[in-house]
Structure formats: structure tokens, C-alpha cells
Structure 1
Amino acid sequence: PPFPWQLSAPASVLFASFGWIPSLFNSTTTAFPDVNNSIECPDMISWDIITNSLPIYIFIISALGILLNVFVILVFCLHKKPCTVAEIYLSNLAAADLLLVSCLPFWAVNIYNNFNWPFGLFMCKVVNLGIKMNYYCSIYSLVLVGIDRYIALVHAMSHGRMRRPKYAKLGCLLVWIFSLVLGSPLLIFRKLEYIAQYNVTACYLEYPNEKLALFSDVMLAIVSFLIPISVITYCTLKIILALKNKSMDRFHTERTEKKATILILAVLGAFFICWVPFHLISILDVLHRAGVIQDCYASNVIEFCHQIVSYLAFFNSILNPVLYVLVGKNFRKKMWEVFHQWAILRPVTSDSTRSHLSSTLKTTA
């Protein structure tokens, strides 16, 4: 079957809302009538490179992401000391990234399979719900991280009691519940249907009408981008100002907080670089679908850019664990201590096993 940008306008709309990688199925700016202005809108961009490389790229990102994020979670979980508040939030972020990279291979297989979804209706709904939940879990975990650093460095004396592990765990739980609630419409509107015209069994998101689809996209931009980015930006600016206060160096506790904050700022910076372009292009895409942007060339550019920034957003899921190792001194310390614990535990376990086997043989003899 032809790719979505080769389909007629109704079929393109049918394939629109691919889920978390909407740009691949969001092209209404094709060589067919434009759904907004009913004029010929020729495709001016070659898509062969993107469509051929996308499954390979997703598989690489998924393999690296699963390996690295599982490693991060294991380091935090296996270390003999309990996690700090900041580490609880970072491990929650790693769990959200792990959820994303675990779901992406299903879509890679779907693309490689000429957009035939082979996994059934249940997985069609669940996989896309997991991808959508990463939307919210990632950014709101960073909101919690930013607020935690803000309290630790700016209001340590007045609000320090709020920074307790039990509150951090409760905050992470609420983020997951919040993400599940916001992603739940996918369980209702996500469908699996055979399209005889193209001989494709498609897993797609079909809202009752276009107004509801646009409302959903606008709310997504507000709830998953504008609000959290505003909070993160405010906290980050306050944190940077607090780090410039040289008097903090006199206190060991504050120096420890500064080390953790440097890692947090690196993670926040990586998130901004990887995700802000995606959300900005998504907003432009909503404006195009609403008829605000009607220029054919602009529509093609938005569609192409949506592909590129989607790849960039994927990369954030493997960038965070790398930053933990390269920038996080405390994480590296924990990592080596876990390796040391494991190195000591292996000989002890081996000696215990040999001793038990020897005593068993003596008893049987």
C-alpha cells in the first residue's frame, strides 16, 4: 500500500493520530486536495530516506534505551543506601524512559510491515497508552525535580521539611496516576480496523469529530508543554541564581546539593534541547490542521520537521542515562559501589555453594 503522504485526504486523516509519532501519519499536504483549503498542494519533499531509516533508528534507540535505563534503575535499587529525593525523581524519569523505549519496537515492526498492525487490538491500545504516558511522566518528573532543586537551594531553611523520600515517592505515584488519566482517551478512541482500499489493518486514533481531535491536541500542548515548561523555567532560573551565591560553598550539605543540581541542570538542558522543538512543531501542526496555516510549502516543511524533531525526542531517552554517568559524580560513586558489592558477593556466594555441595556429598556418602 502507499505511504500515508501518498493517500487521499480522507485516508490521510484516517491514518492521522498515529499516536506518539503523529507526524508520520499526519500528512494532509500531499498531491491531493488539501483538507483545509481544497486546493492542490503538491508534495515537495522526498520521504524515502526517512521511511527507510525509521524502523532501524527506532530499534537502535529502543535497544540502547532499554539497556541504559535498566542499568540506571538497578544502580539506584541495588545500592545499600536508600535513594535521596533527587535520585527518586531521576529513577522515576528512567522508568518513564524505559516505558517509552519498550513500546517503540511495536511501531517499528508496524512500519516495517507496511503499516499493518500485527499485534491485535489489546496491544494497539496498550502500547499507545504507554507511549502517551511517557509524554506526561517525563516532563512532570522533571517538574518535580525542578521544584525539589528549587526548594533545596532557594528555600532550604523554610521548606526543607517538604523534601522527604516518602513525599517524593507519593509525588511520583501521583504523576503516574495523572499520566494514566490523561492518556485514557486512547483506550476509548484507538481502533484496529482493516482498510480494504489499501489492504492495511491499521491501528489508528479516531475521534468522533475534528473539533474534539483539535481540542485534544491543544490540551496536550497546554498540559504537557506550556504549563510544565513554565514551572521548570522559573525553577531553573532561580536555581542558577542560587548557584552563583559563593557563600554556599562554606557548607558541606549545600556543596552536596550543588553537585546534584549540576546533574539536574544537565538533564533539564537535554530535555529542552530534545523536546522543545517537538512541541513547537506540534503546535504549528495544530495551527495547520485548524486552517490557520494554509500555505502548501509551510505545510510540507512542518511535516518534514515533525519527522526530524520526533527522532530528536526519541534520543532523549538514551541521553539521560549517559548524562548520569558523565555528569553525575554521586551516581558514578554509587555505580562503582554497586559493582564493588557485586564483586564481593560473588565469591561469598560461590564459596557458600561449594560448602553446601561438599556437606551434601559427605552426608550422602
Structure 2
Amino acid sequence: MPNSSQIYCNTTLEFRHTLYAIVYTIIFIPGLLANSIALWLLRGFINRKNKAIIFLINLAFADLSHVLSLPLRIYYYINHSWPFGNFLCLLCFYLKYLNMYASIVFLTLISVQRYIFTANPFKAKGWKRRYDAAISIGVWIVVGGACLPFPIYRSSGMNSTSTSCFVDLGNRQMNPMSVVIMMVGAEMTGFFIPLVIVTYCTLKTRAEIKSDSLRCENMKEKLKALRMLLTCASVFFICFTPYHISFFFYVMVNANIIHNCAVQKVILNLHPFSLSLASFNCCLNPILYYFTASEFQNELARCSSSVVRVRLMSKDSVSSIR
């Protein structure tokens, strides 16, 4: 993101291409396999009474959409050239932020639903699957519209002959005060409020389990809910918290609001690492499915045993022919 302040401070960020190429290469195969398998197995639970299954499917779909765009990102960061056109560049750029904020919202919804149904089991009995489906459609509409400013803001200077994309895109000029207002609003609604909600649900569920430990009523289900909430909170703190802290200051630097050279260099050099860390949510979210859903574990074990049986039968048939 070139601007006058970076040139004045003589800040070089050439390492970003290598860093992003390595990180996205590491993420691609595990993310593709984990989320493809998750979607394949989770689809079988739609008609069951498993809570939050619709949100989990949407979460896996959001991760897979971003993972599928990674080969194009890897190509660009290795070759330093984008031959695929402006639309595909902005689409891949858009998918990254769509994945991030859709993941944040669905993780928040999973946390809220688990907390409410654990604290009030009778509400779970009356909750319809179509409610989750309607909420999910609303999430995609709202988050999809809210993420549109990201590619629009970064599309400055693009033309039919442009070979730059992603990190090398320019910024549209905006009033510094407008940038601050937009950033505060985005950080509050897109990250801080969901983080507070997830943290609250996790702490309240943990406190209720401690207070109910002597009665042991539905303790197995409550512990399962707590594991899911802890996993959601872990993804928030590991992947999204460093990015949103650094991104706020990163935009301040690029809007020429922060002028101190030493501070600029620290912010500009830390931001690529926080952005890379945020992308690992595509690999961490599948852990949520496996370690918190006993049905998912059973289905995965059943499929694995079926594959083993098929292989053994094929070997036996070959041996008998011989």
C-alpha cells in the first residue's frame, strides 16, 4: 500500500510476498481437506437434532470459499504479477474479508446458541432448524454488503493493463476523519462486540458448570457445550485479535494520521504477520467440528472404518483370483 509517508520513512516491506506465499501454501492443503471433509460429513446431520449444525455448515463453507482462492494468491506472491484480470483480483480480495467476518459472526452465533440452550434446555426443544437457516441467510446478506468497501477502498489505480493485486493495490483517497469513523465502526461491530459476546458466553457457561457440579444434571452436555465455547474463544484470540489490533493502526498509518517514523515501521512490519495469523482460522475452525461434536467423531470413524473394510475386501478378492 504505497503512500508518501512510507517513502519518507524509507520503509521496505519486500518480505511480505515471501511471507504470504509460504503461509498460504501451508494453509491450502490442510484447509482444503479439512473443510471439504467437514462439509461432506456435516451435510448428513441436517435432519438430526444436533444444535448449531446449520451454523457449522455455513462456517465450513465460508472457510472453503477462501481456501479455494489461495492458489491464485500463491501464484501472485511468487511471480509478482497478476494476469487474471481486475475482477478476479478484487473477488479474491473480497473473499478473504468475507470469510473473516462471516467466521466471526457464525462463531458468535454458535457461542450464543450453545450458552442459551445449555442454560435453558427447554428453549432448545422449541427451537426450529429453519430459524438457523433464516439467520444464516441474513448473515450472508449483511456481512456480504458490509465487506464491499474493502475491495472498493483498495481498487485505486486499477486499469485494464494492471498487473498488481492484493497487497500492492493502492488506496482511494479519503478524508482522515472519515477513515477514523469507518474504522471505529468496523472494529466495534465486526470484532469487539462479537469478542465480548463470545467471552461472556464462555465465562457464564463455565461458572454455571462449576455451580452445578454437585448436582451432575446434564453434565456431559454442558461440558460439551463448554468445549465448543472454548474453541470459539480460542479462534477469536489466536486469529482475529492480533489482526484487528494491528489493522486499526495500519489504516491510521496509511491515512497519514500517524506520522512518527519509528511507530510507522513497527506497525507496517507487524501487520503482515497478524494478517497471516488471521488466515489460519480456515485450519482451526475444523477443530471445532471434531472435538465438540460427538456425532462428527462417530461419522468420521465410521467412514474411516468403511474405507478400511473396502481396501481389505479388495485385497482379499485379488488374493482369491491369484
TMscore range, shorter length: 0.7 to 0.9
State the match for 2:319 in structure 1.
none
Within 2, Cα distance between the matches of 1:299 and 1:187?
23
Provide the TM-score with structure 1 as the length reference: 0.73
Moved more, 333-342 or 185-194: 185-194
Deviation, structure 1 residue 301? 0.8
State the match for 2:244 in structure 1.
279
Among candidates 134, 137, 147, match of residue 183 of structure 1: 147
Aligned-pair Cα RMSD in Å: 3.3
State the match for 1:133 in structure 2.
98
Within 1, Cα distance between the matches of 2:67 and 2:280?
10
Residue 330 to residue 110, structure 1, CA distance change in 2 (3 Å): same
Within 2, Cα distance between the matches of 1:141 and 1:235?
14
Secondary structure of the residue aligned to 1:61 is helix
* Identity among equivalent pairs (%): 26
Moved more, 242-251 or 299-308: 242-251
State the match for 2:266 in structure 1.
301
Deviation, structure 1 residue 276? 0.4
Deviation, structure 1 residue 292? 5.0
Secondary structure of the residue aligned to 1:172 is helix
Secondary structure of the residue aligned to 1:51 is helix
State the match for 1:221 in structure 2.
187
Q: Is the 8 A contact 1:61 1:315 kept in 2?
A: yes
Secondary structure of the residue aligned to 1:146 is helix
Structure 1, residues 303-323: CA drift from partner, whole Å, max 9, x if none? 111111112111221122245
Q: Is the 8 A contact 1:124 1:190 kept in 2?
A: no
Deviation, structure 1 residue 300? 0.8
Deviation, structure 1 residue 264? 3.2
Secondary structure of the residue aligned to 1:193 is coil
Deviation, structure 1 residue 57? 2.1
Deviation, structure 1 residue 92? 1.9
Secondary structure of the residue aligned to 2:20 is helix
Within 2, Cα distance between the matches of 1:322 and 1:285?
30
Among candidates 93, 100, 117, match of residue 66 of structure 2: 100
Amino acid at match of 2:121: A
Residue 150 to residue 311, structure 1, CA distance change in 2 (3 Å): same
Deviation, structure 1 residue 162? 5.8
Amino acid at match of 2:268: E
Deviation, structure 1 residue 112? 2.0
Structure 1, residues 87-127: CA drift from partner, whole Å, max 9, x if none? 3222222211112222233222222232x321112212322
Residue 153 to residue 216, structure 1, CA distance change in 2 (3 Å): same
Matched, 1:64 2:33: no
**RCO greater where, 1 or 2, for CA within 8 Å and sep 6 or more?**
2
Question: Paired residues, what number?
Answer: 309
Structure 1, residues 141-173: CA drift from partner, whole Å, max 9, x if none? 01101110120122334x435643221222222
Within 2, Cα distance between the matches of 1:308 and 1:249?
46
Among candidates 335, 340, 350, match of residue 300 of structure 2: 335
Moved more, 218-227 or 175-184: 218-227
Deviation, structure 1 residue 133? 1.1
Within 2, Cα distance between the matches of 1:92 and 1:310?
22
Deviation, structure 1 residue 214? 4.5
Among candidates 128, 141, 163, match of residue 164 of structure 1: 128
Structure 1, residues 270-289: CA drift from partner, whole Å, max 9, x if none? 32122101111112223434
Secondary structure of the residue aligned to 1:251 is coil
Matched, 1:258 2:223: yes
Moved more, 91-100 or 208-217: 208-217
State the match for 2:320 in structure 1.
none
Q: Is the 8 A contact 2:250 2:267 kept in 1?
A: yes
Structure 1, residues 239-284: CA drift from partner, whole Å, max 9, x if none? 12122133486334x5224314313312321321221011111122
Amino acid at match of 2:172: Y
Secondary structure of the residue aligned to 1:207 is coil
State the match for 1:232 in structure 2.
198
Residue 194 to residue 309, structure 1, CA distance change in 2 (3 Å): same
Amino acid at match of 1:121: N
Within 1, Cα distance between the matches of 2:210 and 2:60?
29
Secondary structure of the residue aligned to 2:158 is strand
Residue 105 to residue 189, structure 1, CA distance change in 2 (3 Å): same
Residue 205 to residue 310, structure 1, CA distance change in 2 (3 Å): same
Matched, 1:111 2:77: yes
Q: Which has the larger radius of gyration?
A: 1
- Structure 2, unmatched stretches of 5+, are 314-322
Among candidates 51, 76, 97, match of residue 17 of structure 2: 51
Deviation, structure 1 residue 195? 10
Residue 117 to residue 249, structure 1, CA distance change in 2 (3 Å): farther
